[in-house]
C-alpha cells in the first residue's frame, strides 16, 4: 500500500515524501482511513511504529480540507495531549514537518518553563495544539486558550498518562472540549484502567492493535541473569565490559537509581547520560541529543522519561530493575530490534523480583533464556566464573547471545 492509496492530499503527500517515507507503516495503514472517516479510534501501538504520523497526517488533512477563512482568525481545532515535555515537543516537530506545504500552524505548550512565550504564540493563533496536561489547564484557567472549537482530541500514551496520575486532568480537558469532537486514544499497553477511561470518553470506537503487547519482538534476543540486588551494579559493569557493544538503553525504576548508576559508569570510564523527571528540560534534551548523535553510547532512564522517545539504532536494552507491569517489559525490549535490525535485551533479576519474571514469562509465553555463567550468581553455592579483564572495553558479543557486531566505535 502507498500513501496515495490512503487518499491523502497533495501537500501532505509532498511532506511525507520529503520526510523520506516510502510507504505507510502498519499502524498508519490501519488507522488513517478510520480517522479520515471521522471515527473515534483506540490504537494500541508502541513508539517506533509510526503512530505519530498515523494521527498527525489525517488530522492535517481534515483541517486542510475544512479551512476556516483567515479573516476569522485561527482557532485551535486539534488538540493532542501528551504526558511528557519531550513527547510533546517530538509530536509538535512532526506536525511542523507534515504541515510544511500547508498554512496550518501548530504550537506546543508544556510545564517546567516560562509561560510567557507560550502565551505569545497562542495569541498569534494556531490550528493545532500539542500540550502536557498541567500547563494546558493552567493556560485555560487564565483564559489564554479556547477549546470550544476542538474537532479532534488525541490522547497519546494514555497508559503513561494514567501511571503519572493525570487521569483527573485528562477527564477535565476532555470535558472542556465540545461533545461533538472526534477522540483518538493511543497507548503502548492496554491495561484495564485505560480501557475504563476509553469507555468513558470515546464513542463507539474502532480498535486497532498493531503490536500485540504480549508478543515480544522476534528479532530481539532475551537473556535473564539472576543476581543479588547488591551486586547488580557489578553485573552491569561486567556485561558492559564483556558482553554488549553499541548503543545501550538501561532502565532503572527510580530517579535515584538512575543517578547512582550513572555516577558509577562515569567513574568506570564509560560515556553515559541520564534521563529522569528531576532533571531540567534542558538537561534532558541535551542528554538525549548526546545519545542520539553518539557522543555517549549509554543512556540510563526511568520508564517515564524514556517512554515514547524516538531513538533509532539501539543495539541493546538492559533491564537493570525488572518492571512490575509485565507489558512494560515488552515495551522496553521493543525499543531495540527496530526496522528489522537485531537487538538484544538483558534483564537483571534479584530475589524479590522473581514474581515479575514469572508474570513476564506468562505474558510473552516464552521462557527467557538464563545466563548462569556470570560472576554474581544469586545462588551463593553456584561456582562464580573468573572474570578475565579484557584489553578493550568491549568484546564481541558472545555466541548465542544475539549481540550485534558493529564496526562503528563509540569512543
Ligand atoms: P513514532 O512511532 O511516531 O515515534 O515514529 C517513529 C519513527 O518512524 C519516526 O522517526 C518517524 O519519523 C518514522 N516514520 C513514521 N512513519 C514512517 C513511514 N511511513 N516510513 C518511514 N518512517 C516513518
Residue 273 C-alpha cell reads as 547520560
Q: Is 403 or 244 the better-scoring residue by pLDDT?
A: 244
The sheet carrying 106-109 orders its strands as: 106-109, 128-131, 78-81, 152-155, 182-187, 41-44, 206-209
Over the stretch 280-294, which tens digit does the pLDDT of each residue have? 878 888 998 999 889
The residue length of the chain stands at 411
Q: Is the CB of 307 under 6 A from ligand 1?
A: no
For 233: left if phi > 0, alpha if psi spans -120 to 50, otherwise beta; the answer is alpha
Q: Which pLDDT score, from 0 to 100, does residue 381 have? A: 58
Q: Is the pLDDT of residue 387 over 50?
A: no
The residue whose CA has the least distance to atom 14 of ligand 1 is 50
Over the stretch 85-121, which tens digit does the pLDDT of each residue have? 888 999 999 999 999 999 999 999 999 888 999 999 9
Residue with cell 487564565: 142
Q: Is the CB of 93 under 6 A from ligand 1?
A: no
CA of 158 to the centre of ligand 1 (A): 19
Q: Is the CB of 149 under 6 A from ligand 1?
A: no
Average pLDDT on 260-288 reads 91
Alpha carbons 404 and 396: distance in angstroms, whole number = 8
Q: Which pLDDT score, from 0 to 100, does residue 382 have? A: 52
What is the phi/psi pair of residue 343, to 5°?
-135, 170
Q: Is the CB of 43 under 6 A from ligand 1?
A: no
Alpha carbons 106 and 385: distance in angstroms, whole number = 57
The residue whose CA has the least distance to atom 13 of ligand 1 is 50
Nearest to 6 by CA among 361, 288, 18, 27: 27
pTM score of the predicted model: 0.65
Q: Is the pLDDT of residue 278 over 80?
A: yes
Query: Band of the pLDDT at 161, cuts 50, 70, 90?
Result: confident
Q: Is the CB of 330 under 6 A from ligand 1?
A: no
The sheet carrying 248-251 orders its strands as: 220-226, 343-349, 316-319, 248-251, 298-301, 272-275
Alpha carbons 316 and 267: distance in angstroms, whole number = 22
Residue 180 C-alpha cell reads as 461533538
Q: Is the pLDDT of residue 405 over 50?
A: no
Q: Which pLDDT score, from 0 to 100, does residue 68 have? A: 60
The residue whose CA has the least distance to atom 10 of ligand 1 is 310
Q: Which pLDDT score, from 0 to 100, does residue 164 have? A: 81
Q: Is the CB of 338 under 6 A from ligand 1?
A: no
Over the stretch 176-203, which tens digit does the pLDDT of each residue have? 999 999 999 998 888 888 888 899 999 9
Alpha carbons 68 and 387: distance in angstroms, whole number = 69
Q: Is the CB of 310 under 6 A from ligand 1?
A: yes
What is the bridge-based pairing of β-strands 152-155 and 128-131?
unpaired
Q: Which pLDDT score, from 0 to 100, does residue 26 have? A: 86
Q: Which pLDDT score, from 0 to 100, does residue 354 have? A: 95
Beta strands in 93-229 (DSSP E): 106-109, 128-131, 152-155, 182-187, 206-209, 220-226
Over the stretch 310-351, which tens digit does the pLDDT of each residue have? 676 789 999 999 998 887 898 888 888 765 667 899 999 999
Percent of the chain with pLDDT over 90: 57
Beta strands in 25-115 (DSSP E): 41-44, 78-81, 106-109
Q: Report yes or no: 136 and 173 within 8 Å, Cβ to Cβ.
A: yes
Averaged pLDDT score across all residues of the chain: 86
Ligand 1 atom nearest residue 3's Cα: 19
Ligand 1 atom nearest residue 19's Cα: 12
Q: Report yes or no: 231 and 376 within 8 Å, Cβ to Cβ.
A: yes
Residue ranges in 318-390 assigned as alpha helix (H) = 326-333, 354-364
Q: Is the CB of 334 under 6 A from ligand 1?
A: no
Q: Is the pLDDT of residue 216 over 70?
A: no
Ligand 1 atom nearest residue 22's Cα: 20
Over the stretch 33-71, which tens digit does the pLDDT of each residue have? 999 999 999 998 877 778 999 999 999 999 998 876 555
Q: Which pLDDT score, from 0 to 100, does residue 339 have? A: 58
Amino acid at each position: 500500500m502507498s500513501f496515495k492509496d490512503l487518499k491523502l492530499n497533495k501537500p501532505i503527500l509532498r511532506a511525507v515524501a520529503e520526510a523520506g517515507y516510502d510507504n505507510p507503516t502498519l499502524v498508519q495503514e490501519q488507522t488513517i482511513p478510520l480517522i479520515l472517516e471521522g471515527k473515534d479510534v483506540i490504537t494500541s501501538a508502541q513508539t517506533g511504529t509510526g503512530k505519530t504520523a498515523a494521527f498527525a497526517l489525517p488530522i492535517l488533512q481534515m483541517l486542510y480540507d475544512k479551512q476556516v477563512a483567515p479573516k476569522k482568525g485561527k482557532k485551535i481545532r486539534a488538540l493532542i495531549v501528551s504526558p511528557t515535555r519531550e513527547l510533546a515537543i517530538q509530536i509538535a516537530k512532526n506536525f511542523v514537518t507534515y504541515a510544511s506545504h500547508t498554512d496550518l500552524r501548530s504550537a506546543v505548550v508544556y510545564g517546567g518553563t516560562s509561560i510567557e512565550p507560550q502565551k505569545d504564540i497562542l495569541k498569534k493563533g494556531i490550528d493545532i495544539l500539542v500540550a502536557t496536561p498541567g500547563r494546558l489547564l493552567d493556560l485555560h484557567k487564565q483564559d489564554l486558550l479556547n477549546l470550544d472549537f476542538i474537532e479532534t482530541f488525541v490522547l497519546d500514551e494514555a497508559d503513561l498518562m494514567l501511571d503519572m496520575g493525570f487521569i483527573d486532568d485528562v477527564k477535565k480537558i476532555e470535558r472542556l472540549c465540545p461533545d461533538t469532537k472526534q477522540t483518538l486514544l493511543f497507548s503502548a499497553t492496554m491495561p484495564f484502567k485505560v480501557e475504563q477511561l476509553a469507555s468513558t470518553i470515546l464513542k463507539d470506537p474502532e480498535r486497532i492493535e498493531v503490536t500485540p503487547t504480549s508478543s515480544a519482538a522476534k528479532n530481539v534476543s532475551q537473556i535473564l541473569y539472576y543476581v543479588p540486588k547488591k551486586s547488580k551494579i557489578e553485573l552491569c559493569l561486567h556485561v558492559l565490559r564483556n558482553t554488549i557493544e553499541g548503543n545501550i538503553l538501561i532502565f532503572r525504576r527510580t530517579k535515584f537509581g538512575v543517578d547512582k548508576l550513572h555516577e558509577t559508569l562515569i567513574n568506570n570510564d564509560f560515556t553515559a547520560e541520564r534521563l529522569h523527571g528531576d532533571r531540567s528540560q534542558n538537561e534532558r534534551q541535551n542528554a538525549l541529543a548526546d545519545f542520539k548523535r553518539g557522543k555517549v553510547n549509554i543512556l540510563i532512564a526511568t520508564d517515564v522519561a524514556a517512554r515514547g522517545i524516538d531513538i533509532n539504532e539501539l543495539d541493546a536494552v538492559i533491564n537493570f530493575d525488572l518492571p512490575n507491569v509485565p507489558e512494560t517489559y515488552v515495551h522496553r525490549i521493543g525499543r531495540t530490534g527496530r526496522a528489522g535490525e537485531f537487538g538484544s535485551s538483558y534483564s537483571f533479576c534479584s530475589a524479590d523480583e522473581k514474581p515479575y519474571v514469572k508474570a513476564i514469562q506468562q505474558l510473552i509465553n516464552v521462557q527467557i533464556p538464563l545466563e548462569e555463567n556470570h560472576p554474581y550468581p544469586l545462588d551463593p553455592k553456584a561456582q562464580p566464573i573468573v572474570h578475565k579483564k579484557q584489553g578493550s572495553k568491549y568484546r564481541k558479543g558472545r555466541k548465542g547471545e544475539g549481540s550485534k557486531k558493529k564496526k562503528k566505535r563509540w569512543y
